A = this chain, B = another copy of it.
Amino acid sequence: MEYLRVSEAQRVVLESVALLNAESVGLEQSLGRVLAEDIRANRDLPPYDVSAMDGYAVRSADLVQVPVTLEVIEDIKAGDMPSKIVQPGQCARIMTGAPLPQGADAVMRVEDTQEISTQLIQVVTTIKDGHDVRPQGENMRNGDVVLSAGTEITPGVIGILATVKITQMQVYRRPRVAILSTGNELEAINAPVDMNKIPDSNTYALMAQVQALGITPALLGIARDDPLELEHYLKLGLEYDVLLVSGGTSVGVHDYVRPTIEKLGVSMKFWRVAMKPGHPLAFGVLHGMEKAPEVDAAPRCADAFVFGLPGNPVSSMVCFEEFVAPALRRMMGYARLFRRTVSARLAHPLKMRPGRTEFVRVQLTHDDAGYVASSTGTQSSGVLLSMARADGLLVMPSDSTGLAAGAQVTVQLLDGTAYQHEMNIRE
């Protein structure tokens, strides 16, 4: 089987997965989810012309020639309705958000006036009709769609949901994700230290990557290199929407994952991707029709998806970022699937053997000219510290033989949850 390019493999994955069904959540639990319904305004906002400032509601025509002295006819607090009409030579004290009284057409901010007495103010500047007035319906008009299905629920969106008084809403549900590590060499986190074993870090690093997407994964533990044990665990994992298996998918003679997984009905889409760190990386689909009846009973989507991730900790994490995260995000309805990229200058030369797209762990600093990227040190795929220290992944195109210091590069930010619509890398 050929090595797929990163973008080809990504396309295969993203074309395979589908949007999940919707579920209802409360406003206080909705941050970070994606709306599965349109949200409409339930009134005009503001419901009438209101003041945008603390100040005086004035007739702009009175201020053509300044200074001018105006009579203060009433106080209008936010939440009050005006009781008087502002006549020529008059004004009303008004608070931010309070309705503009009839007759007035602008607001003079309190800082720009001088109080002569409680009933009189002097105005020295001129303002135009509509100044510091927020017109009726400026924010939203009754019945308009203010948020459409597919909108990611950010703090600003939550402000709008509260504005239209939505306390419960439909969002796309999160995939159920299971994580399985494989290999006789692995030592469970609660097992005593055995110098001949390797602690299982992949289960937890993957757990955290899944958690960072808002999903609480099920940790299935470690399956030994034994066909029956593997079959048991893989069967268990295939009852989830997505199964992440780390280790055991390479071409070595002791890898039982591939035959076992195919025996269970999973149709493998690819096994190798031309990236570093990364391969072997496998992806397969268990179609709904092929599921056993008892499996059908589980509340999961029609198909189950299996990612066979490399056993090396860094490789596993990088493959998660490039393939699994976009897939999980698509299933949850996000339009932005890919890590946000920034442009940076390389701090030092970087050698490379062409043939595979390389993801180099870098730290980012900032100088007057912008971001500067420098390698976090050893790029060995076994050295997890290099991943922990990284601010981002510098993407080296597969045809590159290396870069000089100062070269302009593209870095995918590994920060929390910054995503964008397009991948914007040259692979």
- Residues of chain A having any CB pair with chain B under 8 Å: 27-28, 31-32, 42-43, 45-47, 52, 54, 75, 77-81, 93, 95-99, 110-111, 134, 138-140, 146-147, 151, 153-165, 167, 183-186, 189-190, 193, 195-209, 211-212, 225, 250-254, 311-313, 317, 340-343, 366, 370, 378, 380-385, 387-390, 413-420, 422, 424
Whole-angstrom distance between the Cβ of A272 and the nearest chain B Cβ? 10
Shortest A212–chain B CB gap in Å is: 6
Q: Closest chain B residue to A341 by CB distance?
A: B366
Alpha-carbon gap, A204 to B160, bound state (A): 9
- Tallying the copies of this chain within the complex gives 2
Q: A185-B97, A251-B110 are in contact. Are A205 and B385 (CB under 8 A)?
A: no
| Residues B77 and A312 in contact, CB atoms below 8 Å apart | no
B418–A252 CB distance below 8 A:
no
Provide the residues of chain B in CB contact with A416, threshold 8 Å: 32, 415-419
Asked whether B252 lies within 8 Å of A157 as measured between CB atoms, the reply is no
Contacts A139-B383, A225-B77, A414-B154 given; does A189 touch B205 at CB 8 Å: no
**Complex contacts, A161 vs chain B, CB 8 Å:** 204
Judging by beta carbons under 8 Å apart, are B208 and A154 in contact? yes
| A388: min CB distance to chain B, Å | 4
Distance in Å: Cβ of A336 to nearest Cβ of chain B: 9
24 contacts between A and B (CB under 8 A): A27-B204, A28-B207, A31-B211, A31-B212, A32-B212, A43-B195, A45-B198, A75-B253, A77-B254, A78-B185, A79-B198, A93-B253, A97-B185, A97-B198, A138-B380, A139-B383, A139-B384, A147-B388, A151-B388, A156-B387, A167-B190, A341-B366, A343-B343, A413-B418
Q: Are B205 and A156 in contact (CB under 8 A)?
A: yes
**Residues of chain B contacted by A251 (CB below 8 angstroms):** 54, 110-111
| A79 B199 Cβ-Cβ under 8 A | no
User: Which residue, A46, A159, A208, A424, has most C-beta atoms of chain B within 10 A?
Assistant: A159
Report B-chain residues with C-beta under 8 Å of the C-beta of A97. Answer: 183, 185, 198, 311
Is the pair A155, B205 in contact by a Cβ cutoff of 8 Å?
A: yes
Query: Is A202 touching B159 in the complex (CB atoms < 8 A)?
Result: yes
A155-B382 in contact (CB<8A):
no
Q: Give Cα distance in the complex from A104 to B161, angstroms.
A: 65
With a CB–CB cut-off of 8 A, which chain B residues contact A43? 193, 195
Determine whether the beta carbon of B195 is less than 8 Å from that of A47: yes
Apart from A134-B382, A158-B207, A342-B342: 16 A-B pairs, beta carbons within 8 A = A42-B193, A47-B195, A52-B381, A75-B253, A79-B186, A97-B185, A110-B251, A139-B385, A146-B385, A154-B208, A155-B205, A155-B209, A160-B388, A163-B201, A416-B416, A416-B417
Known A183-B97, A196-B47; judge A201-B77 contact (CB<8 A): no
In the bound complex, CA of A266 to CA of B424 (Å):
50
- Given that A209-B155, A211-B31, A378-B138 are known contacts, is A189 also in contact with B204, CB under 8 Å in the complex? no
Closest partner residue, chain B, to A217 (CB atom): B28
User: Which one of B77, B198, B413 contacts A184 once the chains associate, using CB atoms below 8 Å?
Assistant: B77
